[in-house]
């Protein structure tokens, strides 16, 4: 069969291309590449991993793990070894280990030493705490002012007109570096000062009128940021911040590291006023403090103890007056403003209790813990779940909230007339009340979401200490990124929110006298609402 014209042209092209390839020497280059990349003969690409032989040591005839009881080791010896390890850790340089960050500071600390290279910070901090006397302002207001529906309506209008602080973008107001666990409004009325504490023991102080200049380079303009002063005064979670109204230049802080410190801005000194240890010598966390007089305060602990400390007592004296109130953590407590011998406690054991210090029982409330006497229990209320916070206002109303998603209000109870609880070892006790009389019935129960989870601080309802409008009201954070405000009769008078609030202001409080409020979030951000206009 004859070859077609197209086939003849195709074969001619193949022959021409083959001659061109031979002239270029492609086959030779290909062989060179192969020789360079080919592995040497005899080499195995998959190297065998040699199995290490186990040490077939002779098995010991005696057990490796021994019982300390059988070996005759006393618990006191083990505790001494533990204390020795702590002492050795304290002797290390402060930056050698992360363990040093959780240690409790001992002794006094001068702020000039803390801010050695920043004298302007010390001067600015000292000048910030000069304001109008809080006590004089409280006495000037009208006492016993009655309010009805008109008062509540005007309060709603006032709270509804509050504005988010306009001095700075809220994202720039970071009061603490970690999750905020406590916040406090300083009682000055002519200037606003906010104090916050976080889970690492850091304290942030923010005078809202002060600002720092930020240099953005020669080609850019200067900007400003909040003048927040940071102090690392504790080793663990700061559970409570307090300002004594009679000494407004002193800031008291309590921590889970077992210490209570006083930041004296008049002397520029951080003083260690108490270091509390358990019976075995380890630091026991302080959960709350409240002043009953200018020199005496009460405190509670993680193990359910209630104590008293006098500031005039030398710090070296370790003999604290301690009473047993609960077997589990006391998350919060409050003193009756009208009768300082009465106080209420909120505990992890799901109970709210009211106590009277004028009678101390010789029989301990707990049969499982160390033997401590207990005060007289006037009444108790048991919740479905743990009770997180409690507070007592000047009108005699008690508020408490917890993980049962409820806020309970007890109105103006005369606790002197309540039947007394009798702590007897023969009495049948339940885990919820430990034998205390359940004679407290809430007058108002409000539904409120208190399920904060792991990353948000516990929500706690707090009364306004001394409201200038004489309307008793409390504030609590809302999980929908807002503040809820209620009166003592259970009526909600405000829900404060803003589009720039992108986190839950879990820790919150009122100004002691003014209708200003502030909250802190898990990221350390601070949200302040006041009545100032642009």
Q: How far apart are CA 480 and CA 466, in angstroms?
A: 28
Q: How far apart are CA 143 and CA 157, in angstroms?
A: 22
CB 270 within 8 A of CB 252: no
Tell me how long the chain is.
534
Indicate whether 441 pLDDT > 70: yes
Question: Both tokens of residue 147?
Answer: 């309010």
SS3 state of residue 69: helix
- Once rounded to an integer, what is the mean pLDDT over residues 70-85? 58
Lowest pLDDT segment from 276-280, 342-346, 477-481? 276-280
Beta bridge partners of 247: none
Indicate whether 106 pLDDT > 90: no
pLDDT of residue 144: 40
Q: How many CA atoms within 13 Å lie on the side-chain side of 70?
A: 4
- Once rounded to an integer, what is the mean pLDDT over residues 264-278? 89
> What is the pTM for the complete model shown?
0.73
Q: How far apart are CA 215 and CA 218, in angstroms?
A: 8
Question: Which among 46-50, 321-325, 353-357, 439-443 has the top mean pLDDT?
Answer: 353-357
- Once rounded to an integer, what is the mean pLDDT over residues 380-402? 95
- Once rounded to an integer, what is the mean pLDDT over residues 383-390? 95
pLDDT of residue 516: 96
Indicate whether 93 pLDDT > 80: no
pLDDT in tens, 122-158: 666 555 555 554 444 443 443 344 445 678 889 999 9
Q: How many CA atoms within 13 Å lie on the side-chain side of 372?
A: 20
Comparing C-alpha atoms, which of 474, 527, 417 is closest to residue 167? 527
Lowest pLDDT segment from 47-56, 316-325, 378-387, 416-425? 416-425
pLDDT of residue 19: 86
Indicate whether 49 pLDDT > 60: no
- Once rounded to an integer, what is the mean pLDDT over residues 27-51? 62
pLDDT of residue 62: 59
Pairing assessment for the beta strands 387-392 and 342-347 based on DSSP bridges = unpaired
- Once rounded to an integer, what is the mean pLDDT over residues 341-355? 96
Indicate whether 98 pLDDT > 90: no
pLDDT of residue 246: 84
Rg (CA), the chain: 34
CB 438 within 8 A of CB 431: no
Beta bridge partners of 290: 298
SS3 state of residue 342: strand
CB 520 within 8 A of CB 180: yes
Q: How far apart are CA 188 and CA 208, in angstroms?
A: 12
The mean pLDDT of the chain is 81
Q: Residue 94 — very low, low, confident or very high, per pLDDT cuts 50/70/90? A: very low
Indicate whether 377 pLDDT > 80: yes
Helices 26-37/5-24 angle, 10° precision:
50
**CA dist 101 → 114, 200, 215, 251, 307 (Å):** 16, 8, 32, 22, 27
Largest Cα–Cα separation, the chain: 129
Q: How far apart are CA 473 and CA 464, in angstroms?
A: 6
Q: If you classify domain 101-324+448-530 with CATH, what class do you get?
A: mainly beta
The CB density around residue 448, as the number of other CB atoms within 10 Å, is 18
Lowest pLDDT segment from 51-55, 74-78, 306-310? 74-78
Q: How far apart are CA 422 and CA 387, in angstroms?
A: 23
The CB density around residue 420, as the number of other CB atoms within 10 Å, is 13
Question: Both tokens of residue 202?
Answer: 């850091």
Comparing C-alpha atoms, which of 315, 291, 288, 282 is closest to residue 304? 288
Question: Both tokens of residue 38?
Answer: 């080919």
- Structural domain spans, the chain: 101-324+448-530
pLDDT of residue 425: 32
Question: Both tokens of residue 344?
Answer: 């209420």
> Cα torsion for 193, 239, 108, 208, to the nearest 10°?
-10
pLDDT of residue 319: 74
pLDDT in tens, 445-500: 999 999 988 899 999 999 999 999 989 999 999 999 999 999 999 999 999 999 99
Lowest pLDDT segment from 54-58, 266-270, 340-344? 54-58
Dihedrals phi, psi of 102, to nearest 5 degrees:
-100, 5
Indicate whether 82 pLDDT > 90: no
Q: How far apart are CA 356 and CA 379, in angstroms?
A: 10
Q: Residue 263 — very low, low, confident or very high, per pLDDT cuts 50/70/90? A: very high
Comparing C-alpha atoms, which of 342, 339, 347 is closest to residue 300? 347
């Amino acid at each position: 069969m004859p070859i077609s014209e197209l086939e003849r042209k195709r074969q001619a092209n193949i022959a021409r291309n083959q001659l061109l390839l031979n002239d270029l020497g492609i086959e030779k280059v290909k062989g060179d590449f192969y020789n360079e990349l080919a592995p040497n003969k005899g080499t195995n690409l998959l190297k065998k991993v040699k199995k290490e032989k186990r040490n077939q040591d002779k098995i010991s005839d005696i057990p490796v793990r021994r019982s300390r009881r059988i070996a005759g080791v006393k618990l006191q010896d083990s505790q001494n070894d533990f204390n020795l390890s702590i002492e050795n850790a304290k002797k290390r340089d402060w930056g050698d280990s992360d363990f040093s960050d959780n240690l409790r500071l001992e002794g006094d600390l001068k702020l000039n030493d803390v801010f050695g290279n920043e004298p302007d910070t010390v001067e600015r901090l000292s000048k910030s705490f000069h304001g109008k006397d809080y006590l004089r302002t409280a006495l000037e207001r009208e006492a016993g002012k009655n309010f009805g529906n008109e008062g509540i309506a005007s309060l709603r209008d006032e709270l509804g007109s509050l504005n988010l602080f306009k001095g700075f973008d809220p994202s720039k107001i970071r009061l603490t570096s970690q999750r905020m666990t406590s916040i406090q409004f300083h009682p000055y009325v002519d200037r606003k000062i906010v104090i916050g504490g976080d889970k690492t023991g850091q304290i942030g102080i923010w005078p809202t009128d002060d600002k720092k200049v930020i240099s953005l380079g020669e080609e850019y303009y200067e900007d400003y940021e909040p003048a927040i002063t940071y102090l690392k005064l504790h080793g663990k979670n700061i559970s409570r911040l307090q300002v004594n109204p009679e000494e407004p230049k002193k800031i008291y802080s309590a921590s889970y590291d077992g210490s209570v410190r006083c930041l004296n801005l008049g002397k520029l000194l951080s003083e260690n006023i108490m270091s509390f240890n358990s019976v075995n010598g380890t630091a026991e966390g302080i959960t709350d403090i409240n002043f009953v007089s200018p020199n005496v305060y009460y405190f509670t602990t993680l193990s359910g103890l209630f104590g008293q400390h006098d500031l005039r007592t030398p710090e070296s004296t370790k003999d604290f007056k301690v009473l047993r109130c609960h077997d589990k953590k006391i998350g919060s407590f409050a003193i009756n403003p009208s009768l300082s011998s009465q106080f209420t406690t909120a505990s992890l054991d799901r109970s709210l209790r009211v106590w009277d210090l004028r009678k101390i029982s010789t029989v301990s409330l707990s049969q499982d813990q160390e033997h401590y006497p207990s005060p007289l229990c006037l009444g108790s209320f048991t919740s479905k779940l743990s009770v997180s916070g409690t507070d007592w206002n000047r009108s005699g109303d008690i508020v408490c909230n917890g993980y049962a998603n409820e806020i309970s209000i007890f109105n103006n109870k005369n606790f002197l007339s309540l039947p007394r609880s009798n702590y007897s070892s023969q009495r049948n006790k339940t885990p919820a009340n430990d034998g205390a009389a359940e004679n407290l019935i809430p007058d108002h129960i409000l539904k409120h979401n208190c399920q904060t989870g792991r990353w948000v601080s516990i929500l706690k309802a707090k009364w306004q200490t001394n409201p200038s409008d004489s309307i008793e009201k409390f504030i609590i954070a809302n999980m929908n990124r807002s503040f809820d405000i209620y009166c003592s009769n259970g009526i909600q008078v405000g829900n404060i929110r803003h589009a720039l609030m992108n986190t839950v202001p879990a820790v919150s409080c009122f100004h002691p006298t003014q209708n200003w409020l502030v909250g802190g979030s898990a990221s350390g951000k601070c949200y302040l609402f006041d009545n100032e206009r642009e």
